[in-house]
DNA sequence: ACGATGAATTGATTTTAATCAAACCAGAGG
DNA sequence: CCTCTGGTTTGATTAAAATCAATTCATCGT
């Protein structure tokens, strides 16, 4: 049986061959399924579906049928307000689950757009529910994954409600860094898949502010920026930017 | 059997007597359980627990065992960042469910503080999971409730990321108004249970800005403010404040 | 290789909300 | 009834980020 640790340390390349593995990281990884349960799960998962850069995996308003596990690539999820303002609610990379917002109304409430050529596994939600009735570990894990999304959202609220531009950017870069690290990529050097405007939308800033703040970090020797390539040169100082208490 | 509409229209007073009813609105209301299933559910629910104004229902760091359905009263939920900044993540009133963030790690990540004398039903989560394996409608509904929380959080992100102070306040007041209405209270006249500072924390504003903005609304004849008593005098104009597109 | 296009940077200015500061008010307890 | 306290309002000033505007840069297709 595959232990959580083993899979967690696998490089993305290793994850490519099995669709079960792809969905494992977020949906059903740390749960120790039996062989039988694994193969049940396997049946559930349809062929991997490729999504080209710029394409939508789904859009707000479309009927909800499935969750999607990102197998490969990079997505942004965003909501559009009635008056047309976009708010990016998250960036999602391999192993993460998309579409949980849609369960509540059986209609997608976000757009999910691929920011690079990507692949997803489609997980029909009614199958997940059926299976999770028979496999308590899966049930438990589904709940954890949804809860984790709520916790993540609370973190973003804290960021948007309390932090200054510099802190937001620092938090953003450190978060990306950490997530790349988990996936076996460099934590200190990575390529941003999104525009400054999309970063700004996520962080509640205008694109000019994002650009300026990145430049400032560069001037301070914290990072190196070459267009979308970011190198973190002083992670500790970035972290200090976050922990420094400003008020009271 | 109780239809959703019936219960939805019940006044809070009617909801007092049965603990099942209290948790119905959010957790298991719109699902049409059989009598048997209802009584199963009933067993699960422990005695209502009173929480005095100012007391914590739970605090971040405490082990997670149960979700809580607010039976009566008013709560704020808030996260504290490492450096001590508070972000109110939500206000919760009767019929709403608290604690879903804790499922992910089995530890509470928020504080939940009563803003007036309140009562909650404790719903041991392992019981919910057990029961929801046998009662698909409950399973489905639990998923919907968690998903709704995610959608709600996305709405807050949109508010924090995109809106100006006036829009945030307008959205906040209209949201409260609507939620009071659903519970059979006046939608145009209500008492704020929270301080200006708590409103500000939720909306990503300082308390002075909240106060000033309320005063401005009053000057414009949109609302009347007498300390914590709010009267909405021109709901349409408040809504217009939201829908008006400012950029592009 | 070259122009076109979308993205990013940088500067100048304005707007917005935060901050600092000083009253003011309402309710609780003696 | 009065005082104390926490909460609120309001004003003056400052700080932060948005906005407006102009280049510059990078990529892609021809």
Q: Which of B103, B156, B247 sits opposite A157 (nearest CB)?
A: B156
Spanning CA of A244 to C1' of D27, the rounded length in angstroms is: 40
Average pLDDT, chain B: 86
**Which of the 8 DSSP states describes residue B63?**
B
Is the distance from CB of B77 to CB of B89 less than 8 angstroms?
A: yes
**So what's the pLDDT on residue B4?**
34
Work out how many CB contacts closer than 8 A connect A with B.
Answer: 150
Percent of chain B with pLDDT over 90: 72
**So what's the pLDDT on residue B244?**
73
Strand D closer than 7 A to residue A206 Cβ = yes
What is chain B's length? Answer: 248
Is the distance from CB of B247 to CB of B205 less than 8 angstroms?
A: no
Residues in chain A within 8 Å Cβ distance of B96: none
Helix, strand, coil percentages (3-state) for chain A, rounded to 5, are 50, 20, 30
Q: What is the DSSP string of A49-80?
A: EEE-TT-EEE-TTSBP-EEEEEEESEEEEEEE
**So what's the pLDDT on residue A62?**
98
The residue in chain B having the minimum alpha-carbon distance to the alpha carbon of residue A101 is B147
How many degrees, rounded to 5, is the angle at CA B128 between CA B126 and CA B130? 70
With 0-12 CB in 10 A as exposed, 13-18 as middle and 19+ as buried, what is B133?
middle
Side-chain-side CA neighbours of A234 within 13 Å: the count stands at: 11
Q: Are B158 and A79 within 8 A, CB to CB?
A: yes
**Backbone phi, psi, residue A204, to 5°:** 70, 35
Strand ranges (E), B61-186: 66-72, 74-80, 86-93, 97-98, 111-114, 118-124
Give the model's confidence band at B10: pLDDT under 50 very low, under 70 low, under 90 confident, else very high: very low
Cα–Cα distance measured from residue A161 to residue A155, given in angstroms and rounded to the nearest whole number: 10
Residues in chain A within 8 Å Cβ distance of B82: 242-243
pLDDT of B20 strictly over 60 = no
**Strand D bases contacted by the protein (CB, 7 Å):** 7-12, 16-21, 25-27
The residue in chain B having the minimum alpha-carbon distance to the alpha carbon of residue A245 is B83
> pLDDT tens-digit profile of B197-206?
999 999 999 9
The residue in chain A having the minimum alpha-carbon distance to the alpha carbon of residue B104 is A144
Neighbours of A87 (CB within 10 A): 24
Is the distance from CB of B139 to CB of A135 less than 8 angstroms?
A: no
**So what's the pLDDT on residue B149?**
98
Strand D closer than 7 A to residue B208 Cβ = yes
Cα B169 from chain centroid (whole Å): 17
Cα–Cα distance measured from residue B188 to residue B231, given in angstroms and rounded to the nearest whole number: 5
**So what's the pLDDT on residue A84?**
86
Strand D closer than 7 A to residue A208 Cβ = yes
**So what's the pLDDT on residue A26?**
52
Spanning CA of A173 to C1' of C20, the rounded length in angstroms is: 33
Look-up of token digits 């802190």:
A167
Strand D closer than 7 A to residue B187 Cβ = no
> pLDDT tens-digit profile of B52-75?
999 999 999 999 999 999 989 999
Percent of chain B with pLDDT over 70: 80
B94 Cβ contact list (under 8 Å, min separation 6): B12, B15, B22, B25, B70, B71, B72, B73, B183
> pLDDT tens-digit profile of B162-193?
999 999 999 999 999 999 999 999 999 999 99
Q: Are B143 and A109 within 8 A, CB to CB?
A: no
**So what's the pLDDT on residue B243?**
79
Is the distance from CB of B93 to CB of B74 less than 8 angstroms?
A: yes
Average pLDDT over residues B16-37: 52
Going from the first residue of chain A to its last (248 residues), give the mean pLDDT of each consecutive group of 10, the final group possibly shorter: 35 39 46 67 74 96 96 96 92 95 97 96 92 92 96 98 98 98 96 98 98 98 97 96 65
């Amino acid at each position: 049986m595959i232990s959580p640790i083993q899979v967690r340390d696998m490089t993305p390349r290793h994850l490519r061959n099995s669709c079960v593995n792809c969905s494992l990281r977020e949906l059903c990884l740390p749960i120790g399924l039996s062989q039988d349960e694994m193969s049940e799960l396997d049946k559930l998962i349809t062929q991997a579906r490729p999504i080209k850069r710029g394409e939508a995996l789904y859009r707000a308003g479309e009927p909800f049928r499935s969750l999607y596990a990102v197998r490969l690539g990079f997505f942004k999820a965003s909501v559009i307000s009635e008056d047309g303002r976009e708010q990016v609610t998250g960036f999602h990379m391999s192993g993460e689950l998309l579409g949980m917002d849609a369960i509540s109304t059986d209609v997608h409430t976000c757009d999910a757009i691929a920011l690079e050529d990507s692949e997803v596994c489609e997980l029909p939600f009614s199958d997940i529910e059926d299976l999770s009735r028979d496999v308590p570990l899966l049930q438990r894990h589904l709940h954890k994954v949804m809860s984790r999304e709520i916790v993540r959202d609370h973190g973003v609220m804290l960021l948007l409600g309390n932090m200054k531009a510099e802190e937001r950017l620092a938090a953003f870069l450190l978060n990306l860094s950490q997530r790349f690290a988990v996936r076996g990529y460099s934590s200190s050097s990575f390529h941003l898949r999104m525009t400054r405007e999309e970063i700004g939308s996520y962080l509640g800033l205008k694109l000019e502010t994002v650009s300026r703040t990145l430049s400032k970090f560069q001037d301070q020797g914290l990072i190196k920026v070459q267009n979308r390539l970011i190198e973190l040169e002083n992670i500790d100082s970035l972290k200090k930017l976050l922990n420094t208490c400003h008020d009271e």
